[in-house]
C-alpha cells in the first residue's frame, strides 16, 4: 500500500486484491484498504473500510452483533454480490464502489466509481450519487427544515447558547439519516465519533457525502418497507429507551435558578394553591456551594433533606443539575479522589487537563474510563440519600469557557486511548450513562430519570434530552418543534424544549402558545434563565394563567394515552412526536413550510404549531379524515385549509378511527384519580386498535408481569367495540369506563347481552376562559363536542364486546 502521509493526495481503495466469505458476510483487502461487510439483520448491513488492517470501532453506540446465515453470496470476475431478503449489495471488484438496491434491482444508494470512498490526509469520506427527487431527513438535533437536501451539517457537540435558527453544530450528534426517493426509503448510520460532516447536495449537484476527520469508514445501511421500519431497524441496533417514571411525563418547572429553599417551597405551594398540576421542580447550579457538584449551599439550602421531604409531601419530585467540571480545590474531596485515582482527562504528559467553567478552574472526569464512570455513579449516593429523584446532566459536551478544548487531551476510551478528536462526541452520552447507573444503584428498584443536554447515537438508552439554550421568540418555538421531530426520526423519542424560551424575555401571548405546544411534547418542561422575567404559568396575568392551566390539565387528562405511547415507543423505537414524513414520506406538501412543523402526537393527534401572533393559519390535513379535537367537526383529508388559531385553542386534530383514553386531571401523578377511564372513539373505517397500559409508574417491576395491559379494538365496519382480555398481575386503578362515541349516530349498544341506551353530553377538552376584558371583540371562544353519545360501563377484566345499534 502507498504511505499514509500524503495530506494533499486523494486516495481511493483501488481494486480488490483478496476476499473471503465469512459466516456474517465478506472481508478482504484492496490495493489501498481493508474491508469488512457484515449482515446484522435482513434490513441492516454494516460496511467497514480502513487503511489499517485492524479496525477501530466505536464501543458505545451499537448494542447488537452480526447474525450468520441471513444472506446469499455470489462472485464474478467483475463484482461481489451479497443479498438478504430486504436488499442487495453489489461491490465493484475494480474500484470497490458499493451499490445498494432492492431485491427487484431498484437502486437505493450508490457510490460514484471514481471517488466513492476516499481519504484526504486523515479525513475519510464516502460520496453517494444524488438520486432524482431525493430527500434527506433526520440527523438528530439539527436546525433548519425537515428536508436536509441542499444543506451541510457538522457533528461536533457544542455548547451553543442562544443558538440561531440555522446554527450548526449544536449540543448532540446522531449521525443517522433517512434517504427518500422513487417511493423507496433507506437509512444510513455513520458510526464514527470523530467530528463529521454530512453534505446533502450543498454547493454541488452531483453528490451527497459524509466524512470524518479521522478513523474508519464504518457505517450501517438500512432498508425496509417504510420509514417507520427503518427507524425500528436503527433502534434495534442502537437500543431503545426504558419505560420512564410516570412523574417524568407530567409538567416540569425549572429556572436558572430557584433559591433559597424558601423560594423553592413557595413555588411548590403556589402550584397547589392555584390548582395547576405539576410533578417536578429542578434545582439549577445555585443550589450548590460555589457551583461544586455533590454539594448543597449551606446558606441558601441549610437543610436540603427537610426541604426535599416537604416538596415530596406536596407531590413534587426533585431533579438536580450535574455539571462534569470538578473544581480544582485541595480541600474538595471529589477533586482529591479524582487526582489520586487518575480519573480525569489528561494531557499526553499525564498532567490533568483544566478548563474554566462555573466553579472556576476544573478537572473533568474521563467518562470513557470504566473506573471514572464507577466513581461518578457511586458519588450520586450523596443526592439519593437526601431524597433527590432525578438528574439533569448539563455542560456535558463538554463545555468550557472559550469553547476550544485542546485536541491533544487524552481519553481512556475503554483502554484504547485516544484524543479529544475521537472522544468529544461520546463524552456527554457516557456521563448520562454513568448517571443512570448511579441512579439505579442508589434507589430501591426505582426507575431512573436522567435529562441530558449532550449525547451521541444511542443516548436514548440512558437519558431524555432537551434542545438546549433556546431563545424566547416565535421562531425559536417552531424551531424547537422541528428539533424534537428530527430527534424522533433519529431514534430519540423522549425529548423536549424549554417552554417559554431560556434566553430573553417571553411575552404573554408567546408563553400561552408555547405551553399549549408543550402539552403535546414528549418532555413538558418550562425553563428560563437568570435575570429574565419570571416564567411560571401565573407570571403573565390571569388570562394566560387560565390558558396555561387548561393545557397543563389537558396533559394530565391525556396521561393514560401518553403513558401507553411511551411503552409502545420503548418497544418499537418509534417516536412519540412523529414527523409527518414517517407516515406520508412521499407527499411533497409534508416538506413545505409551515407544514414541516406539523407532527402526530402519540400517533393519534395531528398537532399544528402556529406562531402566537397568528389568529388564522394554514393546515395540511393528510389523506384520510380528521376530527377537530375541540368540536369533533369532521374534515376531509388530502387538503390544505385555513384554520382559526386563537391562543386558547391550538389547532389539534384527531385521525378518524382513533381510540384514545383519558382520566380526571390530578394535581400530580402520585395523586389518586376518580377511577373513571374516559375512552374516546372516533368514527372511521376498517379496524382501529388502542393499547391501554398501567403499572405502578415508579418501579422496575413492570419488567416482570406487574402491569395491567389490554387492547381495545374498534371494528368500524360492523360497529363493534371489543375490550380484549387483560393481561398482567397489576390491578387497574380504573373501576369504570365512560365511552364517548364521536361522529356516531347510533342510539343504543349491546354490552355483552345487555341492551343499553346512549346518553348525550356536550364534551369539552379545556375549560372556558374567563372574560377579563368586557369588550365583546376580546372574548375568548369556547368549544364543545355537542351531543356526543356516551355509555358508562364497569371496567371489565375479561373480554367484552359492545355492538352499536
Active site residues: 394, 397, 469
Distance of CA 367 to the CA centre of its chain: 22
* SS3 state of residue 283: strand
Residue 345 in grid coordinates = 482527562
Backbone angles phi, psi at 595, to 5 degrees: -70, -20
Residue 161 in grid coordinates = 447558547
Is there a cis peptide before residue 200, judged by omega within 30 degrees of 0? no
* SS3 state of residue 167: coil
Angle between helices 542-557 and 559-572 (to 10 degrees): 60
Rounded to whole angstroms, what are the CA distances from 725 to 152, 342, 407, 711?
51, 57, 59, 8
Bridge partners of residue 628, in order along the sequence: 653
The closest of 253, 270, 277, 783 to 550, measured between CA atoms, is 277
Q: Cβ distance 234 to 487 under 8 Å?
A: no
Angle between helices 474-489 and 508-518 (to 10 degrees): 10
The closest of 658, 696, 662 to 679, measured between CA atoms, is 662
Rounded to whole angstroms, what are the CA distances from 782 to 112, 534, 628, 770?
60, 28, 14, 10
Please state, as a whole number, how many other Cβ atoms lie within 10 Å of the Cβ of residue 533: 14
| Residue 312, H or E segment | helix 304-313
Residue 251 in grid coordinates = 409538567
* SS3 state of residue 512: helix
The closest of 415, 423, 495 to 463, measured between CA atoms, is 495
Amino acid at each position: 500500500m502507498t504511505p499514509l502521509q500524503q495530506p494533499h493526495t486523494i486516495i481511493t481503495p483501488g481494486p480488490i486484491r483478496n476476499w473471503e466469505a465469512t459466516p456474517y458476510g465478506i472481508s478482504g483487502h484492496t490495493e489501498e484498504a481493508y474491508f469488512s461487510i457484515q449482515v446484522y439483520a435482513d434490513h441492516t448491513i454494516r460496511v467497514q473500510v480502513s487503511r489499517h488492517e485492524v479496525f477501530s470501532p466505536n464501543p458505545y453506540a451499537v448494542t447488537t452483533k452480526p447474525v450468520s446465515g441471513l444472506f446469499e453470496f455470489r462472485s464474478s470476475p467483475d463484482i461481489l454480490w451479497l443479498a438478504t431478503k430486504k436488499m442487495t449489495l453489489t461491490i465493484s471488484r475494480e474500484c470497490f464502489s458499493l451499490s445498494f438496491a432492492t431485491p427487484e434491482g431498484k437502486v437505493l444508494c450508490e457510490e460514484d466509481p471514481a471517488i466513492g470512498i476516499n481519504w484526504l490526509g486523515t479525513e475519510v469520506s464516502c460520496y453517494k450519487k444524488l438520486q432524482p427527487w431525493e430527500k434527506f431527513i433526520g440527523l438528530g438535533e439539527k436546525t433548519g427544515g425537515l428536508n436536509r437536501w441542499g444543506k451541510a451539517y457538522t457533528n461536533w457537540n457544542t455548547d451553543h447558547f442562544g443558538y440561531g435558527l440555522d446554527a450548526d453544530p449544536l449540543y448532540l450528534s446522531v449521525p443517522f439519516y433517512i434517504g427518500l426517493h422513487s417511493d423507496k426509503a433507506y437509512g444510513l448510520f455513520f458510526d464514527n465519533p470523530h467530528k463529521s460532516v454530512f453534505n446533502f447536495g450543498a454547493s454541488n449537484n452531483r453528490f451527497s457525502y459524509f466524512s470524518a476527520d479521522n478513523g474508519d469508514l464504518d457505517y450501517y445501511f438500512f432498508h425496509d418497507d417504510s420509514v417507520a421500519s427503518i427507524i425500528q431497524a436503527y433502534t434495534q441496533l442502537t437500543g431503545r429507551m426504558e419505560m420512564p417514571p410516570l412523574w417524568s411525563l407530567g409538567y416540569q418547572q425549572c429556572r436558572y435558578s430557584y433559591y433559597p429553599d424558601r423560594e423553592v417551597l413557595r413555588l411548590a405551594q403556589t402550584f397547589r394553591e392555584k390548582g395547576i398540576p405539576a410533578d417536578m421542580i429542578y434545582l439549577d447550579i445555585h443550589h450548590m456551594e460555589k457551583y461544586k457538584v455533590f454539594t448543597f449551599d449551606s446558606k441558601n439550602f441549610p437543610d436540603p433533606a427537610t426541604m426535599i421531604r416537604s416538596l415530596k409531601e406536596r407531590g413534587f419530585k426533585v431533579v438536580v443539575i450535574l455539571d462534569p467540571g470538578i473544581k480544582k480545590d485541595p480541600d474538595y474531596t471529589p477533586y482529591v479522589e479524582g487526582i489520586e485515582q487518575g480519573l480525569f482527562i489528561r494531557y499526553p504528559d499525564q498532567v490533568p487537563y483544566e478548563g474554566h467553567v462555573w466553579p472556576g478552574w476544573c478537572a473533568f472526569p474521563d467518562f470513557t474510563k470504566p473506573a471514572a464512570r464507577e466513581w461518578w455513579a457511586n458519588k450520586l449516593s450523596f443526592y439519593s440519600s437526601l431524597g433527590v429523584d432525578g438528574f439533569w446532566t448539563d455542560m456535558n459536551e463538554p463545555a468550557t469557557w472559550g469553547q476550544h478544548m485542546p485536541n491533544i487531551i487524552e481519553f481512556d476510551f475503554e483502554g484504547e486511548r485516544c484524543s479529544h478528536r475521537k472522544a468529544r462526541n461520546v463524552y456527554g452520552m457516557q456521563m448520562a450513562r454513568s448517571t443512570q447507573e448511579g441512579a439505579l444503584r442508589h434507589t430501591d428498584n426505582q426507575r431512573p430519570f436522567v435529562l441530558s443536554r449532550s449525547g451521541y447515537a444511542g443516548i436514548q438508552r440512558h437519558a431524555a434530552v432537551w434542545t438546549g439554550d433556546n431563545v424566547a421568540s416565535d421562531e425559536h418555538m417552531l424551531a424547537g418543534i422541528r428539533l424534537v421531530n428530527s430527534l424522533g426520526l433519529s431514534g430519540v423519542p423522549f425529548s423536549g424544549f424549554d417552554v417559554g424560551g431560556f434566553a430573553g424575555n417571553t411575552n404573554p401571548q408567546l408563553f400561552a402558545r408555547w405551553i399549549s405546544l408543550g402539552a403535546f411534547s414528549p418532555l413538558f418542561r418550562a425553563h428560563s434563565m437568570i435575570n429574565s422575567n419570571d416564567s411560571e404559568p401565573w407570571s403573565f396575568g390571569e388570562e394566560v394563567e387560565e390558558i396555561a392551566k387548561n393545557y397543563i390539565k389537558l396533559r394530565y387528562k391525556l396521561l393514560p394515552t401518553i403513558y401507553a405511547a411511551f411503552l409502545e415507543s420503548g418497544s418499537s423505537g418509534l417516536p412519540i412526536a412523529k414527523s409527518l414524513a414517517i407516515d406520508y414520506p412521499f407527499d411533497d406538501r409534508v416538506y413545505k413550510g409551515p407544514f414541516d412543523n406539523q407532527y402526530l402526537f402519540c400517533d393519534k393527534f395531528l398537532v399544528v404549531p402556529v406562531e402566537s401572533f397568528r389568529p388564522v393559519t394554514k393546515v395540511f390535513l393528510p389523506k384520510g379524515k380528521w376530527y377537530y379535537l375541540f368540536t369533533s367537526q369532521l374534515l376531509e383529508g388530502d387538503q390544505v385549509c385555513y384554520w382559526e388559531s386563537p391562543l386558547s385553542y391550538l389547532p389539534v386534530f384527531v385521525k378518524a378511527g382513533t381510540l384514545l383514553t383519558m382520566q380526571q386531571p390530578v394535581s400530580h401523578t402520585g395523586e389518586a384519580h376518580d377511577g373513571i377511564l374516559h375512552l374516546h372513539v372516533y368514527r372511521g373505517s376498517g379496524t382501529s386498535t388502542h393499547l391501554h397500559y398501567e403499572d405502578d409508574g415508579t418501579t422496575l417491576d413492570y419488567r416482570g408481569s406487574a402491569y395491567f395491559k389490554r387492547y381495545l379494538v374498534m371494528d368500524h365496519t360492523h360497529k363493534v367495540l371489543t375490550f380484549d382480555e387483560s393481561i398482567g398481575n397489576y390491578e387497574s386503578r380504573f373501576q369504570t369506563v365512560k365511552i364517548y362515541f364521536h361522529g356516531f349516530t347510533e342510539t343504543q349498544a349491546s354490552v355483552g347481552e345487555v341492551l343499553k341506551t346512549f346518553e348525550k353530553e356536550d364534551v369539552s377538552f379545556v375549560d372556558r376562559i374567563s372574560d377579563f376584558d368586557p369588550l365583546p371583540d376580546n372574548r375568548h371562544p369556547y368549544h364543545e363536542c355537542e351531543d356526543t353519545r356516551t355509555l358508562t360501563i364497569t371496567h371489565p377484566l375479561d373480554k367484552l364486546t359492545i355492538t352499536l345499534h
